[in-house]
Chain A
Amino acid sequence: MTAAQALTQDAGSAPGPPALTAEHLCRRFRGVTAVTDVSLRIPAGTRFGIIGPNGAGKTTLFNLLSGELRPTTGSVALFGRDITGLRTYRRVALGLGRTFQITRVFGDLTVLENLTLAQHGLSRTKLSPLRPWRTYRAMTAAATELAGSFGLAGRLATPAAELSHGEVRELEVLLALALKPRVLLLDEPAAGLSPAERVSIMALLRSLPDELTLVMIEHDIDVLRGVVDSAAVLHLGALVTQGSMRDIQQDDRVRELYLGRAAPGGRHPPGPEGSVS
């Protein structure tokens, strides 16, 4: 364990088990190894970033954490509880939320319907067959409030397919938030957004409650710096380093990845172009 790692662990780590741990995660697809021996320990309440060039395996790692994929070897634990064998919906029930890089909202449903679906997600009422969903006042009120607190109040009756790109991203995050997660995985929330929309989404992310642990894939170092305390760097499926943002930016190996050579001090490695990983 490097000093940087120890630092990340002590600073801001609440008592109790870490929010999310990955132990020697490995995922192979028919001869291609997408993720190799990745171990992470993310303390509760931290804002953690996952960065790396295209093809580094970041989204695959997320898929392993959230349950879309099973690891070939290794394990995942949520607040100390092993969730490796659990399907996605079980992990959701335990407090693990996630957004997707290619936004997946319910296009032909209105914003209110989108959020209402999310509200019912953790409740038995989602199978309720006869009572109109609009009459579940608490749920629809919570959905409306969620939309309101993040600027989508005026768009409640709009089908999601008609929202602007930035609004869709916000809805994406709101859907995940509606489930009251304890850990939220965000897959490139700022990808493809205009500078103004980027500011907006960063404000949203920064305004999230402190108890919520955030794990974020991002290319844009500026977005990361504004939101994230520490990060892990992935390359070709393997962990290169992890630590505080400052340590990472000064790490020679990270510099080499992004710039091709170790640069003199004071320069930040720019994020690579393109947003598909």
Chain B
Amino acid sequence: MTGPGDGPVPPVSPGRPARGFAGLALVSLERSRPLIGPVAGLAAAVILFLLLQGNGFVSTLVVDMLVYAIAAMALDFLGGYTGLISLGQAGFLGVGAYGVAIAEVHFFSPWAAVGISLAVVLALGLALGIVAVRVKGVSFVIITLALGQVLWGLAFQWVGLSEGDNGISVATLPTLGPFDLNDPLTLRMTVLLVFWVVALLLVLLVHSPFGLSLRGVRSNEARLAALGYRTGLHRYLAWVITVFLTGVAGVLYVFVNQLISPSTMDFSANGLFVIMVVLGGLRSIWGPALGAAVIVLFQQELSLYVVRWQTLMGLTLIAVVLFSPGGFWGLVRAAGRRRDALIARLRARQASGPAPAPASRTPAKQGETR
């Protein structure tokens, strides 16, 4: 009855039928337990697919959410699982976006631009990683904040390259055979596809021995080193992966928005990514994606009705940190734990209740129907 990889929740013993309303509740809770994940995932996949179909503002909103979700999930890989919270994500997203834009300005074809941009992001990640992994904890946050600000400063001041505050617009998107990303629907589907690919990649990474080692780094790095791990290397690799995936988000960003300007990389943007992850739930794959959706809603919808939406957002973050540090996904997990506890209690009551006597029932029933 329970699926593979589930926690230790043995099923109701088969010989004994569940009794009464409590029994019904128990059986339905147990049967539904392994199904919730896949069903929710399938529902999400279908809903997202459908939402992206129209050309209206809903699909635009959703595609923005997806792009940010990719960056947020990548940030959680480094911040939530490895314990290195980076306040410089927007910087690398910007590099990915500017890479494409600048390459196209210099007459590279769209695909070449994508290649160049990703190569630059990767190189930057590899180089900066050497410096970034020399510190941990609060110092790491500070370094990445400084990094993000410097990247923003470069975008702002190196006018010759970045055209400063005006930003660069990107007109031509890549074409792959029959798939022309210049067509809005194809572009949105591509973004959706990349989102699922990145999510799948992160799921695999998190559950792999490498992912386990990163959780070990966060939990007790010194001990991990004593177990023979080169923890610096593990942190470096997590950093590079995160930076690269954020760069990918940046490439998608500039294609979706067809414009990149320094404001995408400013301090506020960096903070937003961290807020997305914390709001959605650190150390979860899907939490940051949810957080990204919420923040995009705040930014694009709430701002129309509430002028002081930034204050609201700041207060929300403070409230989450104070009252529900696990974010939204933390609440989901807590609900799951309560459900498991309920299952255990119901089972205990089923086991200890009076033994049913099936023999004595049937004649009465037969008597009744006659």
Contacts and interface: CB of A to CB of B under 8 A. Distances in A.
Interface string A93-131: 100001010001111110001001110111001111111
A134 B5 contact: yes
Contacts of A178: 227
Interface in B1-52: 5, 7-8
A45 to B, nearest CB: 23
B228 interface: yes
Interface in B183-235: 204-205, 207-213, 215-216, 219-220, 222-230, 234
Given A130-B208, A133-B208, A105 B228 contact: no
A122 B227 CA distance: 8
A230 to B, nearest CB: 26
B220 A105 contact: yes
A97 to B, nearest CB: 8
In terms of DSSP, what is the predominant structure of the interface of chain B?
helix
A125 B209 contact: yes
Contacts of B216: 106, 109, 117
B209 A128 contact: yes
A175 interface: yes
A104 B222 CA distance: 8
A126 B225 contact: no
A100 B223 CA distance: 9
Interface of A: 66, 88-89, 92-93, 98, 100, 104-109, 113, 116-118, 120-122, 125-134, 136, 157, 175, 178-179
Contacts of B226: 66, 88-89, 92, 98, 100, 104
A122 B211 CA distance: 16
Given A127-B213, A129-B204, A179-B227, 19 more contacts: A89-B230, A104-B222, A106-B215, A109-B212, A109-B219, A117-B227, A120-B209, A121-B228, A125-B209, A127-B210, A127-B237, A128-B209, A129-B211, A132-B204, A132-B207, A133-B208, A134-B5, A134-B207, A178-B227
B10 to A, nearest CB: 12
Contacts of A129: 204-205, 208, 210-211
Nearest to A103: B223
B223 A116 contact: no
A92 B207 CA distance: 25
B6 to A, nearest CB: 11
A106 B210 contact: no
Nearest to A128: B209
Interface residues of B, number: 27
25 contacts: A89-B228, A89-B230, A92-B226, A92-B228, A100-B226, A104-B220, A105-B220, A105-B223, A107-B219, A109-B215, A113-B215, A116-B212, A117-B212, A117-B216, A117-B224, A121-B229, A127-B213, A127-B234, A128-B209, A129-B204, A131-B204, A131-B208, A132-B208, A133-B212, A157-B7
A128 B220 contact: no
A130 B287 CA distance: 21
B255 to A, nearest CB: 28
Contacts of A93: 228
Nearest to A134: B5
B227 A118 contact: yes
B229 A126 contact: yes
B129 to A, nearest CB: 16
A126 B223 contact: no
Contacts of B7: 157
Contacts of A130: 204-205, 208
Nearest to B218: A108
B205 to A, nearest CB: 6
Contacts of B215: 106, 108-109, 113
A89 B229 contact: yes
Contacts of A105: 220, 223
A107 B234 CA distance: 19
A175 B223 contact: yes
B47 to A, nearest CB: 27
Q: In the complex, which of the residues A88, A89, A113 has the most CB atoms of chain B within 10 Å of its own CB atom?
A: A89
Contact of B213 (A88, A92, A120): A120
Contacts of A104: 220, 222-223, 226
B278 to A, nearest CB: 17
Given A106-B219, A109-B216, A157-B8, A133 B227 contact: no
A109 B228 CA distance: 18
A130 B200 CA distance: 10
Contacts of B208: 128-133
Contact of A126 (B207, B209, B219, B220): B209
B230 to A, nearest CB: 6
Nearest to B205: A129
Contacts of A117: 212-213, 216, 224, 227
Nearest to A172: B223
Given A120-B213, A129-B204, A132-B207, A88 B225 contact: yes
B225 to A, nearest CB: 5
B89 to A, nearest CB: 21
Among B8, B207, B223, B234, find the residue whose CB has the most chain A CB atoms closer than 10 A.
B223
A88 to B, nearest CB: 5
